[in-house]
Amino acid sequence: MVRGIRGATTVEHNEAGEIREATQELLQMILAENQLSTEDLVSAIFTVTSDLNADFPASSARAIGWQLVPLLCATEIPVPGALPRCIRVLLHVNTARTQREIRHIFLRNAVFLRKDLVDAE
């Protein structure tokens, strides 16, 4: 079964190193929380807010071994008042998990995007 997994994170500055670190943290957590490996990945679509242009999130994914996964980057719709410096991802994965069992991951300031999907601590 192919399922979608959402995730997002933020950075403090438009710096390549910060974008790489935050993206890799997000992707690794999505895989760990959903008990997935790179072999389970079908594709990934990344978006970034228009204030982030120092690096491609897809480059960060390639650096952690996602060389064979089809990846795409795009700019998020610039909605007034939207969360700044945000990196989002939609992963398509092969999994036996049900939609209810999928763990969507929102880190840093991105936890405010989908409070309904973030576990209360």
Query: By percentage, how much of the chain surpasses pLDDT 90?
Result: 92
Q: Report the pLDDT value the prediction gives residue 120, as an integer from 0 to 100.
A: 43
**Does the structure show a pLDDT above 50 at 121?**
no
8 Å CB contact between 93 and 36:
yes
pTM above 0.75, yes or no: yes
Q: In the chain, what are the domain boundaries? A: 2-112
Query: By percentage, how much of the chain surpasses pLDDT 70?
Result: 97
Mean pLDDT of 44-61: 98
**Does the structure show a pLDDT above 90 at 40?**
yes
Tell me the CATH number for domain 2-112.
3.30.1330.40
Q: Report the pLDDT value the prediction gives residue 118, as an integer from 0 to 100.
A: 64
Residues in CB range of 53: below 8 A, 6 or more apart:
14
| Nearest residue to 52 via CA among 22, 31, 80, 32 | 22
8 Å CB contact between 17 and 101:
no
Do β-strands 86-94 and 41-48 pair in parallel, antiparallel, or remain unpaired?
antiparallel
